Amino acid sequence: MPSLPPSVTPDWAFEREHWRRGYFRVAGVDEAGRGAWAGPVTVAAVILPGLAQDYPFRDSKQLSPAQREAFAAEVRRVAVCWAVEHAWPDEIERLNILGATHAAAARALARLDPAPQALVTDYLRLRTPLPLLAPPKADALSYSVAAASLLAKTERDRVMTELDAEYPGYGFAAHKGYGAPAHRAALERLGVSPVHRRGYAPIARLLQRGLFSD
Protein backbone atom coordinates (compact mmCIF):
# COMPACT_ATOMS: atom_id res chain seq x y z
CA MET A 1 0.00 0.00 0.00
CA PRO A 2 1.23 3.58 -0.65
CA SER A 3 2.45 5.71 2.21
CA LEU A 4 -0.04 8.05 3.83
CA PRO A 5 0.23 11.84 4.10
CA PRO A 6 -0.04 13.50 7.50
CA SER A 7 -3.74 13.86 8.18
CA VAL A 8 -6.55 13.33 10.63
CA THR A 9 -6.86 9.61 11.28
CA PRO A 10 -10.37 8.15 11.13
CA ASP A 11 -11.64 5.92 13.91
CA TRP A 12 -14.78 4.02 14.93
CA ALA A 13 -16.32 6.59 17.29
CA PHE A 14 -19.52 7.14 15.28
CA GLU A 15 -19.92 3.47 14.45
CA ARG A 16 -19.52 2.62 18.14
CA GLU A 17 -22.47 4.85 18.98
CA HIS A 18 -24.61 2.61 16.78
CA TRP A 19 -22.98 -0.59 18.04
CA ARG A 20 -23.84 0.35 21.65
CA ARG A 21 -27.50 0.47 20.61
CA GLY A 22 -27.34 -2.97 19.02
CA TYR A 23 -26.92 -1.88 15.38
CA PHE A 24 -23.89 -3.75 14.10
CA ARG A 25 -24.26 -3.44 10.32
CA VAL A 26 -23.37 0.23 9.96
CA ALA A 27 -23.09 1.67 6.45
CA GLY A 28 -20.92 4.66 5.68
CA VAL A 29 -22.27 6.88 2.90
CA ASP A 30 -20.49 9.61 0.95
CA GLU A 31 -20.78 11.40 -2.37
CA ALA A 32 -18.53 12.93 -5.00
CA GLY A 33 -19.30 15.59 -7.58
CA ARG A 34 -22.07 17.66 -6.00
CA GLY A 35 -20.39 20.92 -7.00
CA ALA A 36 -19.35 19.92 -10.52
CA TRP A 37 -20.86 21.55 -13.61
CA ALA A 38 -20.95 18.33 -15.62
CA GLY A 39 -21.35 14.61 -15.17
CA PRO A 40 -23.07 12.71 -12.39
CA VAL A 41 -23.11 13.07 -8.66
CA THR A 42 -21.89 9.72 -7.38
CA VAL A 43 -22.81 8.12 -4.05
CA ALA A 44 -21.19 5.10 -2.41
CA ALA A 45 -22.35 3.04 0.56
CA VAL A 46 -20.02 0.65 2.40
CA ILE A 47 -20.39 -1.72 5.33
CA LEU A 48 -17.02 -2.65 6.83
CA PRO A 49 -16.48 -5.61 9.17
CA GLY A 50 -17.35 -4.52 12.69
CA LEU A 51 -14.04 -5.63 14.15
CA ALA A 52 -12.84 -2.16 15.18
CA GLN A 53 -9.51 -2.78 13.47
CA ASP A 54 -7.41 -0.05 11.91
CA TYR A 55 -7.59 0.51 8.17
CA PRO A 56 -5.47 2.76 5.92
CA PHE A 57 -8.58 4.51 4.57
CA ARG A 58 -8.67 8.29 4.55
CA ASP A 59 -10.88 11.01 3.12
CA SER A 60 -10.29 10.78 -0.62
CA LYS A 61 -9.50 14.52 -0.81
CA GLN A 62 -6.37 13.93 1.28
CA LEU A 63 -4.91 11.40 -1.14
CA SER A 64 -3.21 11.30 -4.52
CA PRO A 65 -4.98 9.56 -7.41
CA ALA A 66 -2.70 6.53 -7.06
CA GLN A 67 -3.38 6.30 -3.33
CA ARG A 68 -7.12 6.61 -3.90
CA GLU A 69 -7.11 3.76 -6.41
CA ALA A 70 -5.06 1.51 -4.13
CA PHE A 71 -7.22 2.19 -1.09
CA ALA A 72 -10.45 1.84 -3.08
CA ALA A 73 -9.33 -1.62 -4.18
CA GLU A 74 -8.68 -2.46 -0.52
CA VAL A 75 -12.17 -1.24 0.43
CA ARG A 76 -13.71 -3.55 -2.15
CA ARG A 77 -11.57 -6.42 -0.86
CA VAL A 78 -12.41 -6.12 2.85
CA ALA A 79 -15.95 -4.72 2.85
CA VAL A 80 -18.88 -6.84 3.94
CA CYS A 81 -20.72 -5.21 1.03
CA TRP A 82 -20.61 -2.01 -1.00
CA ALA A 83 -22.51 -0.25 -3.77
CA VAL A 84 -22.06 2.83 -5.97
CA GLU A 85 -24.83 4.74 -7.74
CA HIS A 86 -24.93 7.80 -10.01
CA ALA A 87 -27.47 10.58 -10.46
CA TRP A 88 -27.03 12.05 -13.95
CA PRO A 89 -27.74 15.63 -15.05
CA ASP A 90 -31.34 14.92 -16.11
CA GLU A 91 -32.12 13.62 -12.62
CA ILE A 92 -30.24 16.53 -11.04
CA GLU A 93 -32.30 18.97 -13.13
CA ARG A 94 -35.53 17.21 -12.15
CA LEU A 95 -34.86 16.80 -8.41
CA ASN A 96 -32.16 19.48 -7.74
CA ILE A 97 -28.70 18.44 -6.62
CA LEU A 98 -29.65 17.59 -3.04
CA GLY A 99 -32.68 15.57 -4.09
CA ALA A 100 -30.66 13.70 -6.71
CA THR A 101 -27.93 12.96 -4.17
CA HIS A 102 -30.54 11.56 -1.78
CA ALA A 103 -32.03 9.45 -4.58
CA ALA A 104 -28.64 7.99 -5.54
CA ALA A 105 -27.89 7.28 -1.88
CA ALA A 106 -31.21 5.45 -1.50
CA ARG A 107 -30.40 3.30 -4.54
CA ALA A 108 -26.93 2.47 -3.23
CA LEU A 109 -28.26 1.54 0.21
CA ALA A 110 -30.99 -0.63 -1.32
CA ARG A 111 -28.30 -2.68 -3.09
CA LEU A 112 -26.38 -3.55 0.08
CA ASP A 113 -26.64 -7.19 1.06
CA PRO A 114 -26.87 -7.69 3.97
CA ALA A 115 -28.94 -4.57 4.52
CA PRO A 116 -27.61 -1.90 6.86
CA GLN A 117 -29.09 -1.40 10.31
CA ALA A 118 -27.74 2.14 10.80
CA LEU A 119 -25.91 4.84 8.84
CA VAL A 120 -23.08 7.34 9.16
CA THR A 121 -22.89 10.06 6.50
CA ASP A 122 -20.78 13.12 5.82
CA TYR A 123 -23.37 15.71 6.91
CA LEU A 124 -25.92 14.21 4.49
CA ARG A 125 -29.22 14.09 6.36
CA LEU A 126 -30.91 11.34 4.43
CA ARG A 127 -34.63 10.72 4.72
CA THR A 128 -34.48 7.22 6.19
CA PRO A 129 -36.09 5.17 8.96
CA LEU A 130 -32.63 3.87 9.89
CA PRO A 131 -30.72 5.41 12.81
CA LEU A 132 -28.52 8.09 11.28
CA LEU A 133 -25.48 10.05 12.39
CA ALA A 134 -24.53 12.84 9.99
CA PRO A 135 -21.61 14.77 11.49
CA PRO A 136 -19.60 17.26 9.40
CA LYS A 137 -16.24 16.04 8.10
CA ALA A 138 -17.23 12.42 8.68
CA ASP A 139 -15.19 11.41 5.63
CA ALA A 140 -12.09 12.36 7.61
CA LEU A 141 -13.32 11.00 10.96
CA SER A 142 -15.11 7.70 10.26
CA TYR A 143 -13.56 4.62 8.67
CA SER A 144 -16.88 3.68 7.07
CA VAL A 145 -17.45 7.09 5.52
CA ALA A 146 -13.81 7.37 4.41
CA ALA A 147 -14.24 4.01 2.65
CA ALA A 148 -17.37 5.30 0.91
CA SER A 149 -15.53 8.48 -0.03
CA LEU A 150 -12.83 6.45 -1.76
CA LEU A 151 -15.31 4.42 -3.81
CA ALA A 152 -17.42 7.44 -4.80
CA LYS A 153 -14.41 9.51 -5.87
CA THR A 154 -12.62 6.80 -7.85
CA GLU A 155 -15.77 5.63 -9.60
CA ARG A 156 -16.78 9.16 -10.55
CA ASP A 157 -13.26 9.89 -11.81
CA ARG A 158 -13.50 6.79 -14.00
CA VAL A 159 -16.83 7.98 -15.42
CA MET A 160 -15.47 11.46 -16.13
CA THR A 161 -12.49 9.95 -17.98
CA GLU A 162 -14.93 8.01 -20.15
CA LEU A 163 -16.92 11.20 -20.80
CA ASP A 164 -13.69 12.93 -21.82
CA ALA A 165 -13.35 10.42 -24.65
CA GLU A 166 -17.03 10.75 -25.59
CA TYR A 167 -17.01 14.57 -25.51
CA PRO A 168 -13.44 15.58 -26.42
CA GLY A 169 -12.20 19.08 -25.88
CA TYR A 170 -13.83 19.85 -22.52
CA GLY A 171 -11.01 18.34 -20.45
CA PHE A 172 -13.29 16.24 -18.26
CA ALA A 173 -10.48 13.79 -17.44
CA ALA A 174 -8.42 16.63 -15.96
CA HIS A 175 -10.92 18.80 -14.06
CA LYS A 176 -13.66 16.16 -13.58
CA GLY A 177 -16.40 18.60 -14.59
CA TYR A 178 -15.66 21.29 -12.01
CA GLY A 179 -15.50 24.98 -12.86
CA ALA A 180 -11.80 25.21 -13.65
CA PRO A 181 -10.57 27.98 -15.98
CA ALA A 182 -9.87 25.41 -18.72
CA HIS A 183 -13.44 24.15 -18.41
CA ARG A 184 -14.83 27.68 -18.68
CA ALA A 185 -12.73 28.31 -21.79
CA ALA A 186 -13.86 25.04 -23.37
CA LEU A 187 -17.51 25.91 -22.76
CA GLU A 188 -17.04 29.26 -24.50
CA ARG A 189 -15.39 27.50 -27.43
CA LEU A 190 -17.55 24.37 -27.73
CA GLY A 191 -20.85 25.24 -26.07
CA VAL A 192 -22.82 23.20 -23.55
CA SER A 193 -22.68 19.40 -23.94
CA PRO A 194 -25.46 16.91 -23.13
CA VAL A 195 -23.70 15.96 -19.88
CA HIS A 196 -23.59 19.47 -18.46
CA ARG A 197 -25.96 20.40 -15.62
CA ARG A 198 -28.26 22.86 -17.29
CA GLY A 199 -29.82 24.12 -14.08
CA TYR A 200 -26.48 25.31 -12.71
CA ALA A 201 -26.14 29.09 -13.03
CA PRO A 202 -22.88 29.20 -15.10
CA ILE A 203 -24.32 26.68 -17.56
CA ALA A 204 -27.73 28.32 -17.68
CA ARG A 205 -26.12 31.65 -18.58
CA LEU A 206 -24.31 30.03 -21.51
CA LEU A 207 -27.54 28.44 -22.72
CA GLN A 208 -29.24 31.82 -22.62
CA ARG A 209 -26.54 33.03 -25.00
CA GLY A 210 -27.28 30.10 -27.33
CA LEU A 211 -24.01 28.26 -26.66
CA PHE A 212 -25.03 24.68 -27.42
CA SER A 213 -22.54 22.06 -28.54
CA ASP A 214 -22.83 20.45 -31.96
Annotated binding residue 30: yes
Residue 3 has pLDDT above 80, yes or no: no
**Would you call 148 exposed, middle or buried from its count of C-beta atoms within 10 A (0-12, 13-18, 19+)?**
buried
Residue-wise burial string across 39-55, b where 16 or more C-beta atoms lie within 10 A, e elsewhere: bbbbbbbbbbebeeeeb
* Distance (Å, whole) CA 86 – CA 191: 24
Contact 145, 139 (CB under 8 A): yes
Over residues 17-33, the pLDDT tens digits come to: 999 999 999 999 999 99
pLDDT for residue 8: 73
pLDDT band per the 50, 70, 90 thresholds, residue 4:
very low
Residue 62 has pLDDT above 90, yes or no: no
Beta pairing partners, 118: 26
Over residues 90-112, the pLDDT tens digits come to: 999 999 999 999 999 999 999 99
pLDDT for residue 7: 59
* Distance (Å, whole) CA 211 – CA 59: 37
* Distance (Å, whole) CA 147 – CA 48: 8
Average of per-residue pLDDT across 141-166? 97
Of 154, 132, 126, which Cα lies nearest the Cα of 44?
Answer: 154
* Distance (Å, whole) CA 154 – CA 70: 10
Looking only at the bridges linking them, the beta strands covering 81-87 and 41-47 are antiparallel
Annotated binding residue 69: no
**Phi-psi category of 132—alpha, beta or left, where left has phi over 0 and alpha has psi -120 to 50?**
beta
pLDDT for residue 60: 87
Annotated binding residue 139: no
191 or 214, greater pLDDT? 191
pLDDT band per the 50, 70, 90 thresholds, residue 214:
low
54 or 125, greater pLDDT? 125
Over residues 63-99, the pLDDT tens digits come to: 999 999 999 999 999 999 999 999 999 999 999 999 9
Residue 5 has pLDDT above 80, yes or no: no
